[in-house]
Structure 1
Amino acid sequence: MNRKIVGSILIGVLAVMWGGIYISSDFGGFKDETSDDVMEQGNTSILEVDAQEAGDRPVKTFDLTAQETAWKISQKKTVNAWTYNGSVPGEALRVKEGDFVRAHLKNELDVPVTIHWHGMILPNRMDGVPGLTQDAVQPGESFTYEFIANDPGTYWYHSHQHSSKQVDRGLYGSLVIEEKETEQKNDLNQDNVFILDEWSIGQESQGMGGMMGAMSGDGEADTKQAYDTFTVNGKSGQAIEPFIMPEGETARLRFVNAGYQQHQLVFPEGSMKVIANDGEAVDDSKGSTNVLEIAPGERIDVAFTKPDKESVVIGENPNIENAGDMRIPVVSRKSSDYSEDHDLTAISDQSIARGTSYGSENLIFNELPEPDVTYNMDLSMGMNMGEGMAFQINQETFPDTPPIQVEEGDVVKVNIQNSGRMNHPMHLHGHRFQVMSKNGNQYDEPIVKDLIHVKPGENYEIYFKANNKGEWLFHCHDNNHADQGMVTIVDYKSVYSPFEIGGENQNRP
């Protein structure tokens, strides 16, 4: 039995056991058009808003072809992947702050695709969301994305057309925007990107024992059942290429979680400190830690100093099943022998660096602002008659979820509460928000992000400025949850989208 089927069965079992879950009878996946015509109430099309031109900026041009590829994850595992330019991840894009990016997407798959530039602040029509900001790019057709790389940091790109399937099959890659001024970075000897992911390759059921084991209450029950192989930059286990780094040197390591399961990477004691989160520099005065927890869709940069050893390893929490798949060897020389015998330091909760562990250097709000719009977002689970599991916002599934309606210039407060039993990494397109409190406790050092990982029972207060007109998604970045309804829209009242969900272009955001 396929692991994803087993996962669906598991979720149904858990839903019955947990009880009290809202049941919807009218959700059937994404509909062809919205019920409230939310996206058609403005008087200006998003295609007429804030186009960006190159002017006298340097232009960086990339050709990205979506194509089917037999991808070798390890010596024994090959998958039929969907890729950008024939590899998983796709081509690594690297530009300078202020460059004008021109990316030509050509679709050689037999299904529609797009590219979403995750974390980027750009014009709405370049956001790559089918049915909202563009029509999906049909087989044999092309589309060109153009935007200014204004904000240095770590980003990534991926398809937003039926993301739960297309990102799962490999349609993603990294985008790094380097700072114009690099003098402060001279103490970093290298700069490397590591994209984490999970794959469903084995087809045998784990059985009831595995299902019972998933009821551990960590919010990961469904993803643990759905996937059986971990990868780093598209490779697993011994196929992961060693990272060459002499003893005593310090490197910037940029981690991107392209999968749907949180990962906890264990570093040698005293070797790592967090320096950026979701493209924003953080206050690193707290010093080093040895465990990095990274949520689906999140990006975290660290400064890693190689200990005085020939070889060490950065690896998944050994208490996690399949942890051996996600071990990055760090060796002094290309010819160095790497041993599998490295012990990873035991994990304590105090040693874990999470997405909200460090305050941001540059804030959106220096003081707690008075909101113009307040939106209460309840994240929950439900069952759909004949459809299976649903993941809801305010007891509704997309496109019937209530939108966050704003006017340009508004200060928006969102209270996010997770009343379900699964983790929900909530990602806002086109904006950054400031995390002010968790579970009613104000942060002494607020955090600026575009994704907040909300675990069962948690609630956060976040604020953002409505300063980028358009129609923007706000959704769970466990894309399996988004596919089952956990999506809403930040709707600027003055604009509308001329595109439709579904339709002849099969737009499925």
Structure 2
Amino acid sequence: MNRKIIGSILIILLLGMGTWMYFQSPFSDAAQKDLPTSVTQGEESILDLEKEGPGDRPVKKFELTAKQVDWSINENKSVQAWTYNGKVPGEPIRVTEGDYVKVNLKNELEVPVTIHWHGVILPNQMDGVPGLTQDAVQPGETFTYEFVADDAGTYWYHSHQHSSKQVDKGLYGAFVVEEKERTIEIDQTFMLDEWAVNQEKQSLSNMGGMMMGSMSGDGEADTKQMYDTLTVNGKSGAAIRPLELEAGDTARLRFINAGYQQHRIIFPEGSMKVIATDGEAVLEQKESLNTLEIAPGERIDVAYTKQGEGAEVIGEDPQLQNAEQMKIPVVTETTEEASNLNVSATTSTGSGLTNGSEELLFNEVKEEDVSYRMDLGMGMNMGEGVVFQINEEVFPNTPPINVREGDIVKVEITNSGRLNHPMHLHGHHFQIQSKNGQAIDQPIVKDLVHVKPGETYTIYFKADNQGQWLFHCHDNNHAERGMVTIVDYEGVYSPFELGGKSNNNP
């Protein structure tokens, strides 16, 4: 037999084996028995770290119950969803900057859950990472999260327990911290997501297609095959609720990507300006944009002005798969027909990296105290299948970023693989200073940077929030397979354990 044919057969067999193994997480219940009981060491428990109380601040209280419901995505399709308060997205939480927030989580599911407050600067004990900052909340149990909402902006909350599955099944919601004085009165939130409705997510064809399809270079080959239905605020296609505006009205639209796929949202020409990314206000937009790339886990706020009396549409780039399912009609009356409108063509594209931030962490970056090179890669481990690596290791064996309080930390992130990796840092903001070795004219403050294949970003942050903090890929399918590390503060330790009786799986 021809050697090339034999080689091709062997590759197909390996890919097939990798496909099956990919969806068998190395952090499954059985595998967790072999995890270390503690991932960090120090003198002071994170539970003893100082945290601010309510004082004379307004206290806002919320109740969230994790439970399963049959959720209608459209008139033809329903899914068994895991929800907060029986909704997808979960109950929207809105507070005002300076409020003291108390959220009581009750778990009515048959599996453990948590809540992570994505992008929010808060005490380490409230970060919602099982095995690191708390034990997962068991069925029938409760846990109360408490923190000060000091920073106005768009955030979200989601489970961090086995999040590749739990977020996929609907355990997420919007968390908005409003400014004390609004600049735009009309304010709406749109959470974007993908679902496997008409197919099993754990398809045997996915991994082979991901490996081979990734040759196309868009970095999205895996999510293209894993999901078949796109949603806005838990609804798809004609079931998406229209946005009601009069001609000339301007609204603040807060877009949150709760899924694992990059979305390209197109607006009518001349209607949109980016005003914030990841909760941080940005400098005035220099050029007209009508298309936004929004990475998994990222938030982008825009000021959108309805252009005319007739119906308009904001929607996914028609060139992308299943784009017709992600259209937001903009109407003057709910009876106005907009579902058949076509999305505009892309004329100019921006992203969460297009506009510099109004307020920087560093006007001039000082010499770093800690330097860390983060190589994002992909490989196959015998017995585990495909894995996603940081510096050729998978969590919990990835090398941590060791810091002391007050350190200036420089991290150089390089994607040497073929898939996109939206890297998210808990508990801190960072400043993006350069891309591919070239200084950025207008530095950007964020908590997530979307690193595409072949790209390198240099970021800086100040170690000013003691604890043990995750830094991971927010395509949680990649994090589940190992692309996670920890920012480890000297002198503090986590008293929690991975796995264990609480089945902690971050």
Fold conserved (TM > 0.5)?
A: yes
| Cα distance in 2 for residues equivalent to 1:434 and 1:263 | 23
Structure 2 contact 254–299 (Cα < 8 Å) conserved: yes
Q: Which residue number in structure 1 is paired with residue 437 of structure 2?
A: 440
Do the aligned partners of 1:34 and 1:400 also contact (CA within 8 Å) in 2? no
Q: State whether structure 2 residue 463 is matched by structure 1 residue 462.
A: no
SS of the residue corresponding to residue 40 of structure 2 reads: helix
Q: CA deviation at 1:207?
A: 7.3
1:401 maps to amino acid: T
Partner of 1:196: 192
Deviation at 1:87, TM superposition (A): 0.5
- Residue type at the aligned position of 2:450: H
Distance (whole Å) between structure 1 residues aligned to residue 351 and residue 13 of structure 2: 26
Identity %, equivalent residues: 64
Q: Do the aligned partners of residues 339 and 489 (structure 1) sit closer, same or farther apart at CA in structure 2, a change above 3 Å counting?
A: closer
Q: Distance in 2 between matches of 1:28 and 1:505?
A: 13
Deviations 1:387-422 (A, max 9, x none): 221000000000000000000000000000000000
Aligned residue for 1:39, secondary structure, equals: coil
Contact in 1 for aligned 2:405/2:463 (Cα 8 Å): yes
Query: Which residue of the partner structure matches residue 279 of structure 1?
Result: 279
Gaps of 5+ in 2: 1-10, 19-24
Query: 2: CA distance between counterparts of 1:309 and 1:216?
Result: 41
Structure 1: 5+ residue stretches without partners: 1-8, 17-25
1:11 CA drift (Å): 12
Alpha-carbon distance, 1:106 to partner? 0.1
Per the TM alignment, residue 76 of structure 1 is displaced from its structure 2 partner at its CA by: 0.7
Q: In 2, are the aligned partners of 1:159 and 1:167 still within 8 Å (CA)?
A: yes
Aligned pair count reads 485
CA shift for structure 1 position 63: 0.2
Equivalent-residue separation in structure 2 for 1:279 and 1:366 (angstroms)? 19
Residue 492 of structure 2 corresponds to: 495
Q: Kindly tell me: are residues 493 and 206 of structure 1, through their superposed partners in 2, closer, same or farther at Cα, counting changes over 3 Å?
A: closer
| Matched residue, 1:485 | 482
Aligned twin of 1:420: 417
Could you say what secondary structure the match of 1:481 adopts?
A: helix
Letter in 2 for 1:464: F
Are the equivalent residues in 2 in contact too, given 1:154–1:299 (CA < 8 A)? yes
Provide the rounded CA distance (Å) in 2 between the counterparts of 1:38 and 1:396: 15
SS, match of residue 222 in structure 1: helix
Show CA shifts across 1:234-284 (max 9, x none): 000000011101111100000000000000000000100100000000012
Instruction: For 1:504 and 1:272, locate their aligned partners in 2 and report how far apart those are by CA, in whole Å.
Output: 50
8 Å Cα contact 1:269-1:345 kept in structure 2? yes
Partner of residue 180, structure 1: 180
- Does the 8 Å contact 1:12/1:388 carry over to 2? no
CA positional deviation for 1:465: 0.2
Post-superposition CA distance 1:138-178 (Å, at most 9, x none): 00000000000000000000000000000000000001001
Superposition CA RMSD, Å = 2.3
Instruction: Kindly indicate whether the alpha-carbon contact (under 8 Å) linking 1:381 and 1:389 is maintained by their aligned counterparts in 2.
Output: yes
1:16-53 CA-partner distances (Å, limit 9, x unpaired):
9xxxxxxxxx966664475595412x111000112221
- In structure 1, how many angstroms separate the alpha carbons of the residues matched to 2:34 and 2:190? 38
Contact 1:35 1:400 in 2 (8 A): no
Tell me what 1:3 maps to. Answer: none
Corresponding residue for residue 4 of structure 1: none
Shift of 1:347: 2.3
TM-score normalised over the length of structure 1: 0.91
Residue 71 of structure 1 corresponds to which residue in structure 2?
71
What displacement does 1:216 show?
2.1
Q: 1:432 to 1:233 in 2, by over 3 A?
A: same
- CA deviations over 1:179-201 (Å, ceiling 9, x no partner): 1133xx0xx24100000000001
Per the alignment, residue 343 of structure 2 pairs with 344
* Structure-2 change in CA distance of 1:284 and 1:33 (3 Å): farther
| Larger deviation, residues 43-52 vs 266-275 | 43-52
Q: C-alpha separation between the residues in 2 aligned to 1:361 and 1:214?
A: 36
Q: What is the distance in 2 between the residues matched to 1:226 and 1:394?
A: 26
Matching residue of 1:355: 352
Give the structure 2 partner of residue 53 of structure 1: 53
- Quote how far apart the aligned CAs of 1:73 are: 0.2
Return the TM-score normalized by structure 2. 0.92
1:373, 1:413 within 8 Å by CA — same for their partners in 2?
Answer: yes
Pair 378,36 (structure 1): closer, same or farther in 2 beyond 3 Å: farther
Alignment of 1:193-272 (within 5 A): 193-203=189-199, 215-272=215-272
Q: What's the CA shift for 1:214? A: 6.2
Counterparts in 2 of 1:247 and 1:365: CA distance versus 1, 3 Å: same
> Would you say 1:288 and 2:288 are equivalent positions?
yes
Partners in 1 of 2:225 and 2:428 — Cα distance? 33
Report the Cα distance in structure 2 between the residues aligned to 1:264 and 1:86, rounded to whole angstroms. Answer: 29
Quote the Cα distance in structure 2 between the aligned partners of 1:111 and 1:415: 37
- The alpha-carbon distance between structure 1 residues 420 and 12, as it changes in their structure 2 partners (threshold 3 A), is farther
